[in-house]
Amino acid sequence: MGVLKNIVAAAGVLAAAGIGETVYFYNRTMKRGNAKTDRTIKMSGTDWEKYFPLIEKRKEFVLAKEHRDVYVTSFDGLRLHAVYFPALEEYQDKNKSKKAVICFHGYTGEGLSNYASFADYFLKHGYAMLMPDARAHGESEGEYVGFGCLDRKDALVWIDWMIQECGEDIQIMLHGTSMGGATVLMTSGLKLPLNVKGIVSDCGFTSPKEVFTHVLNNMYHLPAFPAIQGADLLNKKFAGYGMDECNARNEVQKAEVPILFIHGSADTFVPCSMCDEIYDNCRSPKRKLIVEGAAHAESYYKETERYEKELDTFAEQIFCN
């Protein structure tokens, strides 16, 4: 009988420890304010310091151009924020149709700060540009991170805003990095306006459940159970979605617009194998660029010319002149 009591007591201790681990993991990763940018940068393994001079130079160029804050209301009543840059007249080809890009940033990032470098390319190629802050990020409202599962619904609102702003003849590209990459891939499975001509996903993941399982197993050498399973239950209750409820691998099977997949071969945060898996499941026209030696979200900076050339080629394929 004493042995049984000891077993029951031990089980209780383990259960309590599991609950504590789950709550700690959930609060640390899913709630606004607890998910820290410096921690994300450390986990990503990318040496951003060497790119800071370029980023600052490009940010200075971008901020000198006309831009304004815009706001919309999400499907669940949140006030969402973005920064909008009209197309620069000096870079527009009068003989070609109007085009725009909507850019979705990564986990713990913000639209303008994460996409200032890309803005140099897009604005100089005649795009109007919209850089939203994801829910629970930047100036957008929300307590819980959407991890693409909710952000894809917000993407539909931003697409509608862009059409209203630029006109029914605007042609739109969606571009996302990391969590933003997952967002645009998840958006591909929805019924999109005909204005959306193509999607670019840079280091996007399959689902929050799978990417955090990878991080716990491979970076922290910890078991995913019970933290992931417990976080899934908590997230369904508080945020309204399961952590594998929307998986990019499944959504691209319903995609109708062309998709360009970009990933770094040395990405340890979101493994390149996820890109290959999603690419193999994609049923729409597709292209893939793997940048050798690039860490997480580093592809554009490591091989800028090659990256931009791939964007040029993709744009020529998807936009109607």
Report the chain's mean pLDDT, rounded to a whole number.
90
What's the pLDDT at 57? 93
225 contact partners, CB below 8 Å, separation of at least 6: none
User: Which pLDDT value is given to residue 95?
Assistant: 62
pLDDT digits (tens, 9 = 90+) for 260-269: 999 999 999 9
311 confidence band (pLDDT: 50, 70, 90): very high
Contact 256, 194 (CB under 8 A): no
The highest-confidence range among 181-190, 209-218, 233-242, by mean pLDDT, is 181-190
- pLDDT category of residue 321 using cuts at 50, 70 and 90: low
Asked if residue 309 has pLDDT above 70, the reply is: yes
CA dihedral 116, 150, 314, 164 (to 10 degrees): -80
Is residue 244 packed enough to be buried (19+ CB in 10 Å), middle (13-18) or exposed (0-12)?
A: middle
How is residue 231 written in tokens? 């976080």
- The mean-pLDDT minimum among 28-32, 64-68, 220-224 falls in 220-224
pLDDT in tens, 35-79: 677 777 777 778 889 999 999 999 999 999 999 999 999 999 999
Query: For residues 148 and 180, what is the distance between their CA atoms, to the nearest angstrom?
Result: 7
At residue 240, does pLDDT exceed 50?
yes
pLDDT digits (tens, 9 = 90+) for 130-159: 999 999 999 999 999 999 999 999 999 999
3-state secondary structure of 204: coil
Looking at residue 157, its pLDDT comes to 98
Give the pLDDT score at 320.
85
